[in-house]
Amino acid sequence: MTESSTTTVAPAPTEVQKGWGGQSVPRKEDKRLLQGDGVFVDDVKRHGMGYLHFVRSPYGHAHITRVDVSAAEAVEGVYGTLTGEEVAALTDPFFQMSTAPGANIKDYSLAVGKVRYVGEPVVAVVAETRELARDASELVEVDYEPLPALVDARRAQDADAPVLHDDAGGNLMWHGLYSWGDLDAAFAEADRVVEIPELHFHRFNSTPLECDGALVEFNRGIGQWTIHTNNQFPGFAAIMMGPAMRVGLDKLRFVMQDIGGGFGNKITSHPQLVVCCLLSRKLNRPIQWTEWRTDFHLSMSHGNERWFQDTEVAVKDDGTLLGFRTKALDDAGAWLRYEPLGGVIWAQVTPGMYRWRHIEVDFTQVATNKAPVSPNRGYSRMQHLWFTERVIDIVARELGLDPVEVRKRNYVRADEMPYETPNGCIYDSGDYAAMLDLALELIGWDSIEEKRAEASGRGKLLGVGIGSTLDSGTNNFAQSRMINPELQFSGNNEVATVKLDIFGEIVVTLGTTPQGQGHETTAAQVVADILNCSVDDVHVRAGHDSYWNSHAGFSGTYASQFAVTGLGAVKGATEALAGEIKQLAGAVFGGVPAEQLELADGGVRIKDDPDAFLPFMACGAIVNANNAGLPEDLDVTLNCRYVYRPPFEVPDIERKFGNLTLTYAAQLHVAVVEIDPETGWYELVDYAAVDDCGKRINPQIVEGQVMGATAQAIGAAMHEIYEYDEDGNLLTPNFYDYHVPHALDMPPLATGAIESPSPFTPLGTKGMGEGGGAGIHAICAAIQDATGRAVTDSHNPYQSVWQMLQEAQA
Amino acid sequence: MLLREVEYAKPGSVAEALELLAANDGARALAGGQTLVNVMKARAASPDQLVDLNGLDELRGIELAGDGTLSIGAMTTYTQIAASAEAKARPILGAVCAQIADVQVRNRGTIGGNVCSNDPTNHLPPLMVATGARMTIVGAGGEREVPAEEFFLGVYMTAVGPGELLTRITIPAGRHDGFAAVTLGIDGTCIVNAAASVNGAVRVALGCVDAVPVLVTAESPEAVADAVRAAGLNPPSDVHASSAYRAHLAGVLAERAARQAAGAS
Amino acid sequence: MDVSVTVNGTTYERDVEPRKLLIHFLRDDLDLTGSHVGCDTGNCGACSVIVDGVLVKSCMLLAVQADGASIETVEGLAEGDELTPLQQAFTEHHALQCGYCTPGMLMSATALLRENPSPSEDEIRKALQGNICRCTGYWNIVEAVKAVGK
């Protein structure tokens, strides 16, 4: 381990850095978090609140034949219960995005008639204390008739496979065939066809340290729920909950301040939130729900597990890739909570970073008796990009070519940007070859063979691998119509409000739900640059609250978009405010046009006459409390709300062609592993990560995301897996068996950054944060390099590496 | 995460602790709590009463006798062992204790708790067997000493019977020791471990391969791999390792521990 | 059972069930919500506090075991409104993102620095091994502690 474990290489400023954008401003969020004064959902308390505990299924697949809560309810201090039968009477099944047969499944917030995965909530018990709720839950009697469990998606469509949802008539949840270019011509032109029978991307997720939770209050007088919760996509939760609960969306107020990590895994808690809502109404008291670590592992937001079968790659002898066809088989788990959107979201990055034009993906999604899948950092693109990176390395190996050369030969080139992919997505900007060069320099590529020899002298196998990946950000939700043409979603949006308060205080509200990405800080930087003030003068409200009316249908923090959508909204609102300030000042100064005014020093003044100065305090006071005598046609409020809307069209649904995401950040990672050949044990001894997310508003925050994503990739590649036995029992239901990286597990890290501004966004920024998949790709490649064996699984614990070495010797 | 109801007592003497343990079938001794409390959170076991040993200073401390024998109180923590000047008389003890989990666990976890819980993946049971430790057990019938080889009876089961307490572990002098493990991440749970001691012949105790540590002996470190093969191990399979992989690791780690022991001085 | 604990200099007397974990006692009974719960197997360290000068995970201690003890939690680190050099270093080095692991990290770092005012990088990592972070990858946390150690 070197003395200093991190080095950073960043671009020299291409322009004089003035203003706040581009500065690593210390975070506004930090002070409260450092003092233990953050407000996370479990910190919120209400007098008389009842603590909720879920009775969960012990079976992977079973009929429910009897539920009896009477013994539990008889316990003093137990406030009440909720069963599946009640839920089925009080609510409608959740909206399904899929087409038939997937559309036919009936998803309620508690199991109705059947359980379909171990850990599925069956009954909810509410009591005076946490412990009592837990105790009482053991008195709930549930009788089950176990059924065979289906845990291998490859068997899901066998004739004798257990069927999870009779309403769907089988386990097929969604299917789509994607085909672009001319596959026949490509394969005819190929010098050879590389066949890869099976590649497997494993099931894991990002295990945010804080699990889900809620405190729900019901206001009986107005029929409205206040839902304190750490759900990171309240727009989606509301759309799912409202119709199910048969209430208007304004009856669901979402409130949150600090969230302890999300990574996509806090998007689909709406079933549990519905239970809390129903109970708060039934019992007429606030309901508190804490999801325990084991509950989270058993039931929440596993990442998509995906096989790529019968892959054929058309290549030229010089390593030029012409195209590929593959069958993607996706394991959705027991319910479609955000799926089957995963069936199209990968198409944002169809060709990966490469220039091949002839591509076919036959995509099937099935249900299995495992936890429901929903977005996990890198959602669906990560799986597909891992696939393209494996193809590159396996092709390179088969042709005896250098993986660096094959990448450079096939990367989309900087001079081709903006680049239209075979399915009509537009890669906005980027220079992948330059990123690769920088990463290789950071890792000391020139001395790798020396290091390999030195490691060999110590009896170790050294391997180096490249992982390149894209982080597509700002979704065009019209892509959902490729899943189901009837869906009425398209485009995207985010909202912000910026106002001058009565004493001139600058107050910003966001529509987002940050979980550590520093939105308060970067938003303040953008505002301060436009209003020409200090970031310290900009007060950004912490968290999210529906009552701020600062949200729209797609509000939330997910899918690598804040720097585009959130900051786009902030920019729009602030520019509107700046315009209104000048209008007001112009009127107050007796009719001075806006061009002659400038914002500076906490106010507005006439450029040529600095003594004519109106501080923000005066502006705020005039509009709010002292407005007699203003011109009748002066239409200013100094309270500006802006809805940012990215420029999208509805794609051609039939051809599955069109732009699906606005920005494409890129990541280029290189990993060096040392393997102990006698045991298969290995460690990362060096690592480089290069990131390009366009203009960086706060470089330190960006780098933090790169680091965190890298650490998660290392964990996923080496240790983290949600593995099930044949009965559907999860073998890794807690942090004891599901090993995430700790401080001693991290390699030395060199980071580099390149800025290729996006031509499509208000600030030249690109969303980022989900690029960690590059680490998985790089580690797979490094293991392949060290062992000489093609790596075909994303998960490579010590035993797998040892196995590969055995095979290499055989 | 939430324990069942339990009674709690904190005796001020070993005699009082033994009385409490004998009086109630459902009473369990609480040492460091780094295992027992988690077991109770999961409700995998729910004692009626916890008898907290943390007030028993007489169970703490390390004494080094003139002949190099170490006497370690059962309630001595991993941190205390790793920091102890006396324990340096047998350096492998501190070296192994320092790699258990993390600082917080080491500050509370005890050598007595580690051996009495006898989780097959624990570090110390194999180490006790390899070093020829002797366990002092106290009960209503008095005090007796059980050699480590006879102390570990099954998964979570030791020679400490109902109403009894492990009070002390006595470890003979020696410096030719080794320990090798493959763990789930650095300092993580052991997948396979091996503790070795050389005193003329080689003793290697393997952990994680059976309900209790498996002892093999060999003439020299070079002969250890064969001895492990001859032991006919049939280790458990779980999500971290197959039986075959564990068996393979056992052979490799046993030899490494033995070489380390032979080379140590 | 009656317990008397001193937390960050203030003494509290409460009646608690023996089964109540210290972390829940701090959070639910004393309203000291700075220490967090991140797991249920004693692995994550978000609940780390200092009890009678010793760093422990408060999810593996019963509240009744802390009777008579002096406990330090994150809320007691700063002097009024001013951040300590350690907290200051955390923000300078961007050693926190979501902030959920941060109280535990601060307590572990505090315990380390008391014992070892100039720790090496390896010593820092070893000291933080019991604290899981999912956001930062630990690199910046190590840098922050190193910076205070100089």
- C42, C76, C110 — which closes off a domain? C76
Q: Do B2 and A131 touch (CB under 8 A)?
A: yes
The count of structural domains within chain B is 3
CATH code, C126: 1.10.150.120
Of B130, B150, B171, which one is at a domain's C-terminal end?
B171
Residue-level pLDDT at A199: 98
Q: What is the number of other CB atoms lying within 10 angstroms of the CB of residue A652?
A: 12
pLDDT above 80 (res B64): yes
Nearest CB partner across the interface for B4, out of A135, A678, A731: A135
CATH code at C47?
3.10.20.30
Kindly report the pTM of this predicted structure. Answer: 0.97
Q: What's the full length of chain C, in residues?
A: 150
Q: Which two tokens stand for residue A502?
A: 């009565």
- On whether both C39 and C95 belong to a single domain, the answer is no
Residue B48 resides in a domain: yes
Q: Is A58 on the interface with B (CB under 8 A)?
A: no
CA B123 to chain centre: 6
- Residue A188 neighbours by CB under 8 Å, 6+ apart: none
Is B2 part of any domain?
no
Interface check for C1 against chain A (CB to CB < 8 A): the answer is no
* Residue B144 shares a structural domain with residue B65: yes
Alpha helices in A417-560 (DSSP H): 432-443, 448-457, 480-483, 519-531
Question: Rounded to whole angstroms, how far apart are CA atoms B254 and A783?
Answer: 26
pLDDT band, very low/low/confident/very high, at A13 (cuts 50, 70, 90): very low
Looking at residue A9, what is its pLDDT? 67
For residue B83, is it within any domain?
A: yes
For this complex, say whether ipTM is above 0.90: yes
Judge contact between A81 and A123, C-beta under 8 A: yes
Each residue of C7-57: pLDDT tens digit? 999 999 999 999 999 999 999 999 999 999 999 999 999 999 999 999 999
Q: Which of B8, A749, A361 is nearest to C1 (CA)?
A: B8
List the beta strands (DSSP E) in A395-450.
Answer: 419-420, 426-427
DSSP A547-614: GG----TT-SS-SS-IIIIIHHHHHHHHHHHHHHHHHHHHHHTTS--GGGEEEETTEEEETTEEEEEE
Q: Which of C44, C76, C108 is the last residue of a domain?
A: C76
* CA–CA dist B124, B31 (Å, integer): 15
Q: Give Cα separations from A328 to A352, A356, A392 (angstroms).
A: 15, 18, 17
Q: Do C17 and C39 sit in the same domain of this protein?
A: yes
Rg (CA), chain C: 15
- Same domain? For B38 and B80 the reply is no
Task: Name C132's Cβ contacts closer than 8 Å, sequence gap at least 6.
Answer: A209, A735, A740, A742, C38, C39, C43, C44, C45, C46, C101
Q: What is the mean pLDDT of residues A387-400?
A: 97
Residue A12 is predicted with a pLDDT of 47
Domain co-membership, C71 together with C97: no
CB contact under 8 A, C134 and A207: yes
Q: Find the CATH number of the domain harbouring B211.
A: 3.30.390.50
Cis? peptide before B47, omega within 30° of 0: no
CATH of the domain at B11: 3.30.43.10
Structure tokens at A347: 């198409």
* Same-domain check for residues C9 and C51: yes
Q: Are residues C27 and C50 in the same domain?
A: yes
Sign of CA dihedral A49, A131, C23, A712: negative
Count of B-C CB contacts under 8 Å: 79
Residue C72 and residue C31 share a domain: yes
Are C134 and A208 inside 8 Å of each other by CB? yes
pLDDT for B264 equals 82
Residues C64 and C92 in one domain: no
Residues C22 and C66 in one domain: yes
- Residue whose C-alpha is closest to residue A333's, from A473, A131, A149, A596: A149
Which of A132, A295, A682, A739 is the best residue to mutate to test the B interface, defined by the most B CB atoms within 10 Å of its own CB?
Answer: A739
Contact A504, A618 (CB under 8 A): yes
Count Cβ atoms within 10 A of the Cβ of residue A115 and give its class: 0-12 exposed, 13-18 middle, 19 or more buried: buried
Q: What share of chain A is helix, strand, coil (3-state, %, to 5)?
A: 30, 25, 40
* pLDDT tens readout for residues A58-87: 999 999 999 999 999 999 999 999 999 999
Residue A8 has pLDDT above 90, yes or no: no
Residue C138 clears pLDDT 80, i.e. is over it: yes
Chain C from 78 to 97: CB within 8 A of any A CB: 78, 83, 87, 90-92, 94, 96-97
Confidence bin at C80 (pLDDT 50/70/90): confident
Mark residue A247 as left, alpha or beta (left: phi above 0; alpha: psi -120 to 50; beta: remaining).
Answer: beta
Q: Does C19 touch chain B (CB under 8 A)?
A: yes
DSSP secondary structure string, A113-174?
Answer: SEE-STT-EEEEEEESSHHHHHHHHTT-EEEEEE------GGGTTSTTPPPS-GGGTSSEEE
Mutate to test the interface with A, among C139, C146, C148 (most CBs of A within 10 A): C139
Same domain, B202 and B257: yes
Pair B157, B227 in one domain: no
B148: domain CATH number?
Answer: 3.30.465.10
What's the rounded mean pLDDT across residues A162-174? 97
How long, in residues, is chain A? 810
**Range of B166's domain?**
57-171
Please count the other Cβ atoms lying within 10 Å of the Cβ belonging to residue B220.
12
Specify the pLDDT at position C79: 80
Q: What is the DSSP string of A777-788?
A: HHHHHHHHHHH-
Could you tell me if B70 and B170 are in contact, meaning their C-beta atoms sit under 8 angstroms apart? Answer: yes
pLDDT given at position A623: 93
**Is residue A189 pLDDT above 60, yes or no?**
yes
B164, B115: one domain:
yes
Domain that holds residue C56: 2-76
Neighbours of A75 (CB within 10 A): 15
Asked if residues B250 and B209 have their Cβ atoms less than 8 Å apart, the reply is: yes
With a CB cutoff of 8 Å and minimum separation 6, the contacts of A629 are none
Maximum Cα interatomic distance, chain B, rounded to a whole number of Å: 54
Q: Closest residue of B to A801, CA-based?
A: B245
- Residue type for position A422: P
For range A150-178, the mean pLDDT: 98
Q: Which of C76, C97, C122 is the last residue of a domain?
A: C76
Q: How far apart are CA A314 and CA A322, in angstroms?
A: 5
- Is a pLDDT exceeding 90 seen at residue A646? yes
Q: Is C18 on the interface with B (CB under 8 A)?
A: yes
Same domain, C68 and C123: no
* Nearest-angstrom CA–CA distance, C76 and C8: 5
Q: Label residue A635 exposed, middle or buried (CB < 10 Å: 0-12, 13-18, 19+).
A: exposed
The partner residue sitting opposite C44, judged by closest CB among A707, A711, A735, is A735
pLDDT-derived band at C69, boundaries 50, 70, 90: very high
Contact of C44 with chain A, judged by CB distance below 8 Å, is answered with yes
The total number of structural domains that make up chain C: 2
Q: How far is it, in rounded angstroms, from Cα A225 to Cα A543? A: 18
Same domain, B108 and B51: no
Interface of B with A (CB under 8 A): 1-5, 38, 42, 102, 182, 184-189, 191, 238-242, 245, 248-249, 252-253
pLDDT in tens, A723-759: 999 999 999 999 999 999 999 999 999 999 999 999 9
The phi, psi pair for A542, rounded to 5°, reads -80, 130
A713 vs C130: CA distance, rounded Å? 20
C12 & C39 share domain: yes
Give percent above pLDDT 70 in chain B.
100
Nearest CA distance, C71 vs chain B (angstrom): 14
Residue C122 has pLDDT above 90, yes or no: yes
Burial of C122 (0-12, 13-18, 19+ CB in 10 A): middle
Q: Which residues of B touch C (CB under 8 A)?
A: 1-8, 10, 33-34, 37-38, 40-42, 50, 52, 54, 101-105, 107-108, 186-187
Domain co-membership, B152 together with B67: yes
pLDDT at A321 over 60: yes
Backbone angles phi, psi at A163, to 5 degrees: -100, 125
CB pairs under 8 A between A and C: 190
Does residue B88 lie within any of the structural domains?
Answer: yes
Min Cα–Cα distance to chain C from B110, Å:
13
Number of other CB atoms surrounding residue A453 within 10 Å = 10
Edge-to-edge strand ranges of the sheet holding B142-147: B62-64, B70-73, B165-171, B134-139, B142-147
* Residue that finishes a domain, picked among B111, B141, B171: B171
Does residue B231 fall inside a structural domain?
yes
Q: Are residues B118 and B33 in the same domain?
A: no
C28 plus C91 within the same structural domain: no
Identify from B2, B6, B43, B189 which residue to disrupt to test chain A contact, counting A C-beta atoms within 10 A and taking the largest count: B2
Q: Answer with the one of B171, B199, B233 that is the final residue of a domain.
A: B171
* C131 shares contact with chain A (CB less than 8 Å): yes
pLDDT tens, A464-493? 999 999 999 999 999 999 999 999 999 999
Q: Which of A604, A648, A32 is nearest to C91 (CA)?
A: A32
Let me know whether C90 and C69 are in one domain.
no
Please check whether residue B1 lies inside any domain of the structure.
no
Beta bridge partners of A66: A143
Q: Please report the pLDDT score of residue A15 as a whole number.
A: 41
Structure tokens at C22: 């210290």
pLDDT at site A18: 62
Q: Enumerate the residues of chain B whose CB falls inside 8 A of the CB of residue A678.
A: 252
